[in-house]
Amino acid sequence: MTISFGWSLDLTGTSRRLAGILTVGFLGAALVLPGSALAAGPYDPVTDVNSMYNTTTYTGVRAWWAAGYTGAGVDVAVIDTGVSPVEGLATAGKIIYGPDLSLESQASNLTNLDTNGHGTFMAGIIAGRGSNAQPGTYATDMADFLGVAPDARIVSLKVGVADGGVDVSQVIAAIDWVVQHRTDNGMNIRVLNLSYGSDSAQAYGVDPLSYAVEQAWKAGIFVVTATGNAGYAFKNGTLTNPAYDPKIFAVGASDSMGTMTTSDDTVPAFSSTGSNSRTPDVVAPGTHIVSLRVPGSYIDQQHGTTGYVTDTLFRGSGTSEAAAFLSGAAALAIQQRPAITPDVLKKLFLDNARLLNGLSANKQGSGEVEMARMLGAPAYNAPNAWRRIAWSSGTGSLELARGTDHVSDDGVALTGEIDIFGHDFDSAAMATLEAAGNSWSGGTWNGNCWSGNSWSTGSWN
């Protein structure tokens, strides 16, 4: 299978897609694994600038915690390779499992669990919380692992398998499910983290994947997507689909340069760049970040000798990490301003970003978000000009939405206007159903039964 959930590895300074049986589109961890990851002696997050302790400190996130904003009451949907309840995500009620739409869903020992490692790593950045962390003390806690929004909940929809394999039809189905079920059983899904992208050249104005994320945005869900790990390209840029859709929020990566000051921060070479028509919205920490490890996962087995930090922690880089950071930040802002709309929240982030020295907007958009400044900043309505930006019709080609990324079975690639089940996909008909909010009927999507049709405690059957 060919996919791009890509832990695009950066072991030698050159960003590459993860190779494997499947080649996919998860953009997440372009792993930058420095030798220091294996440094002798016990790991100390206080001395590691890129630990979550220091990342939440120098970005100003801990000021939000001190003010009482920890993401409580906000649910973040993570469409990824699954999320495993490892230490840091093991607290009761931390993870809610939506349907497993991956090719591993029929293996009962793998259902919902993260065999790749990517989804758990992102969930840790967004909302991780060590089992010993005490509410009310997060701002001064130097010992426990804490993600950006430690009291937010994760709603996990698994679409990718061990080597990251996923088809764009699975991602669209997952987005649609989030939109339809965002308030089920007391849930409050207000943020969707999509550390995924294809290299599609199809215009966002007709693209089915772009249309799906726009429906989430219209439903009041703040959609955060990674820009990609393809680096710089002159004129046309390298933003992935759906990051190239100007209606949603696209996040590139920043690099702390190993210091606690943001004055020397820059954009790493792997972070995808924009064009004159669409730039990243902002950049956020995405280099050498330490988050949660899934022992025995694909990434752990393939790159544990360099990525290993401790028995529970791993190190990686990529625009996926940056998107995860921003998703956690969005949960904090939504807790502070429960009625805020996606457009107003987007404007709030853009207004409270600082331009990095010597870099074009194509690389950094409005710059690096300053969370401490944003805490007390006013929120303004979106500019009228945004209303003139066209929405997608969703009537384009599913095949073109894949770009060059295809899943395959025994060497036969899935191509054409068919979904992962081989069922015909009529994009215009699907767009009509999505606009009405009923593309899912129980466990059926696009004419096929993808999952069960009801909840059983904290999981979708």
| CA–CA separation, 223 and 226 (whole Å) | 10
Measured CA to CA, the distance from residue 348 to residue 354 in angstroms comes to 12
Q: For residue 66, give both structure tokens.
A: 């001190």
Tens of each residue's pLDDT in the chain, 461 residues: 333 444 433 322 222 222 222 333 465 444 444 434 444 569 999 999 999 999 999 999 999 999 999 999 999 999 999 999 999 999 999 999 999 999 999 999 999 999 999 999 999 999 999 999 999 999 999 999 999 999 999 999 999 999 999 999 999 999 999 999 999 999 999 999 999 999 999 999 999 999 999 999 999 999 999 999 999 998 789 999 999 999 999 999 999 999 999 999 999 999 999 998 999 999 999 999 999 999 999 999 998 888 999 999 999 999 999 999 999 999 999 999 999 999 999 999 999 999 999 999 999 999 999 999 999 999 999 999 999 999 999 999 999 999 998 999 889 999 999 999 999 999 999 999 999 999 999 999 999 999 989 998 889 98
Q: 332 is written with which tokens?
A: 């904090």
Question: Are the beta carbons of 225 and 323 closer than 8 angstroms?
Answer: yes
pTM of the model: 0.94
Catalytic sites, residue numbers:
80, 118, 320
Calculate the CA dihedral of residues 123, 49, 73, 101 and round it to 10 degrees: -10
Which residue bears the tokens 């929809």? 157
The DSSP result for 81-127, as a single string, is S-----TTS-STTSEEE----STTTT-TTTTT--SSSHHHHHHHHHH
| The residue to which tokens 């190190």 are assigned | 315
Please state, in angstroms and rounded to a whole number, the distance separating the CA atoms of residues 101 and 114: 13
